[in-house]
Chains A and B, each alone.
Chain A
């Protein structure tokens, strides 16, 4: 079955579209909603967004492939994104990623077989004073070390 937005979401999308003099400008906010509702943006979701905005699916794909926050395939329940940029690297982000690789048994870019965790390394998250830092879904965590990450991950159901 092709994906469809709920009535409530459709109304929200209408409100968002009304903010802009050109309908297409609403595409990033709509893609964020799509990502939140369906967990990924595959060809089917691209068609859905295209239909709502009255544009071609290829125009949606152009964006989905340019921006990094719209994965094509579903991620794990918890998406761990570890910053690999300079301030975090200086303070041991590399070792921290190695620790997570060992702990979770997956490499960056992979998801655990139980679909609980996806591990990614990313560029600067804007929390350099808390290096090494990471995000789990949209929550920030700083000054990471193995003990701290054990506590955080063990607390996630």
Chain B
């Protein structure tokens, strides 16, 4: 039986308060993990659950944790709450409705990996949510779930909220680390990977809010149960965010592998009155676009890779037939040219150049060779930058330009 896992109690009033959360069984997973399980047993369970990262890359969380070396250095956990991928708003819901579910995940993850300080790096605009998290954290301290010798297990943990200040790039994990250290969010060269050299040069686990929020459920119900909620290689549910031209935009928690067509037409109520589907961006703006006849597709990591797109952050943006694809391309290219950190030339120059061309076309001054120029420039960004922002820009630009070439050419 598939069910809601993360959003089950979201309708409850005051769920964000620890007493209400505990009445729903909250912090039982923490008790189980700290009192009855060894760290290696937790790691084994999370690995078996095939919990893949919910931030965008889909890397298995348990495997990520196992890369942390055994060392005397301090280790850190950074929860990536820098939700900035256009079309994505699920973590906002998790943190504002159920902050303790995230805190429980932080406690169990930290206990498993041997971490004693965790930071939640949250985007600066989410000020109200940062305050809510801080209140929840102080409740957890009062009840003895955080601080020294948690539940008399000998395990200590401090959790701090750290607000970003308006930079999309800081959602990239190494830029996040730089930002947390008090620097500009310029991504680092990898390797070394954060698991070995991360925050303050120490081993660091970085996971998305939704990823960490699944941990308490895996501990309570087991890996086998978790896999049943999704797919064998891709355990659990996913919180899909649907926005754009649909009747009922919002979040929908569904099993991984749910069809995109069903998400749009069954769950989100279909298109708004009088609108027809033209295209869908399935996983946050960086995901390659799908045309209306490509939506018979299962929403899981591997199926979307096969369709030359990606599940990414599971933010689904629905575009209607009255919207000009040139307008879409204008918004997309403006965004990446604004958000490039400027470190790598192909991304810095390429994105602003493409945006200039698109704006020129929109002003009716397009040239015959412009479409090929866009394709050439975007191809030269792809794969030629330190961090994934270059690819994240090139993927939607290339897919939009190739799939809607005729429409774009009609503006020339």
A residues near B127, Cβ cutoff 8 Å: 138
Q: Bin chain B's interface residue count.
A: 35 or more
Q: Are A123 and B335 in contact (CB under 8 A)?
A: yes
Distance (whole angstroms) from the CB of A86 to the closest CB of chain B: 5
Stretch at the interface among A6-14, A67-75, A96-104, A110-118: A67-75
Q: Is the CB of B162 within 8 A of A29?
A: yes
Of listed B86, B163, B179, B242, residue having the most chain A CB within 10 A: B86
Report which residue of B183, B285, B323, B339 has the largest number of chain A beta carbons within 10 angstroms of its beta carbon. B183
A2 to chain B, nearest CB (A): 23
User: Is B124 a contact partner of A25 (Cβ separation < 8 A)?
Assistant: no
- Rounded to whole Å, the gap between the CB of B260 and the closest CB of chain A is 17
Chain B residues lying within 8 Å of A67, measured Cβ to Cβ, are 124, 164-167, 185
A26 to B335, CA, bound (A): 29
Does A151 touch B at the CB level, under 8 Å?
no
Q: Provide the bound-state CA to CA distance between A84 and B339, in Å.
A: 14
- Evaluate whether A128 and B315 lie within 8 angstroms (CB atoms) in the complex, with A28-B179, A29-B162 already known: yes
Contact between chains at B245 and A90 (CB < 8 Å): yes
Q: Are B241 and A85 in contact (CB under 8 A)?
A: no
Q: How far is the CA of A28 from the CA of B161 in the complex (A)?
A: 12
Q: How many residues from A make CB contacts under 8 Å with B? A: 38
Contact between A131 and B165, CB atoms less than 8 A apart: no
Closest to B334 in A: A84
In the complex, identify which listed stretch (B62-70, B230-238, B324-332, B349-357) lies at the interface while the others stay far away.
B324-332
A-B residue pairs in contact (CB < 8 Å), sample of 21? A21-B74, A22-B181, A31-B165, A32-B163, A63-B183, A66-B341, A67-B124, A68-B165, A85-B331, A86-B244, A86-B331, A86-B335, A87-B317, A91-B245, A123-B339, A126-B84, A128-B89, A129-B89, A129-B251, A130-B249, A138-B125
Binding site for A on B (CB under 8 A): 74, 83-89, 92, 123-128, 158, 160, 162-168, 179-185, 200, 241-245, 249-251, 281, 285, 315, 317, 319-320, 323, 327-328, 331-332, 334-335, 338-339, 341
